[in-house]
């Protein structure tokens, strides 16, 4: 099975510029048109299987990336924009539960500011 085109391969230039449609999508067919999501998922499952890593869904990588970004202190607005969420509230409602330490860190930071003024 041939992998779908990726942005890196797209940057190399289309094989036939006249037939190329720039849709802005990450995974496309040769001409730039949309690839069915199941094609990408199937290719990913096969790649994971060949790698002998533990099974993981493609969408799990998105969740992990968002969780790691928030845990690393990247501003939720930036994470929200990178994920393509319509609002920052969607990001925080979806991912903030995965980082319980954020509440403790926030409380400690505020306490430090309050007591530093005394």
CB–CB of 34/22 below 8 Å? no
CB–CB of 95/68 below 8 Å? no
What pTM does this model have? 0.59
Does residue 97 share a domain with residue 42? no
Residue 6's pLDDT is: 59
91 is in which domain, residue-wise?
Answer: 57-118
Cα angle: 98, vertex 104, 110; to 5 degrees: 130
Does residue 12 share a domain with residue 61? no
Does residue 64 share a domain with residue 81? yes
Domain count, the chain: 2
Residue 101's pLDDT is: 73
Nearest CA-CA partner of 40 in 85, 83, 82, 6: 6
**Mind listing the pLDDT tens digit for each residue in 31-83?**
888 899 999 999 999 999 999 888 888 889 999 999 899 888 888 999 999 99
Does residue 11 share a domain with residue 22? yes
Does residue 81 share a domain with residue 25? no
Of the residues 39, 55, 71, the one at which a domain ends: 55
């Amino acid at each position: 099975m041939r992998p779908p085109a990726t942005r890196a391969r797209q940057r190399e230039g289309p094989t036939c510029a006249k037939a190329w449609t720039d849709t802005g999508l990450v995974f496309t067919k040769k001409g730039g048109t949309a690839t069915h999501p199941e094609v990408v998922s199937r290719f990913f499952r096969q790649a994971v299987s060949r790698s002998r890593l533990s099974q993981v869904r493609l969408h799990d990588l998105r969740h992990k990336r968002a969780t790691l970004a928030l845990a690393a202190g990247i501003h939720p607005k930036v994470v929200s924009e990178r994920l393509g969420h319509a609002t920052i509230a969607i990001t925080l409602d979806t991912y903030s539960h995965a980082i319980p330490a954020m509440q403790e860190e926030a409380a400690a930071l505020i306490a430090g500011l309050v007591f530093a003024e005394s």
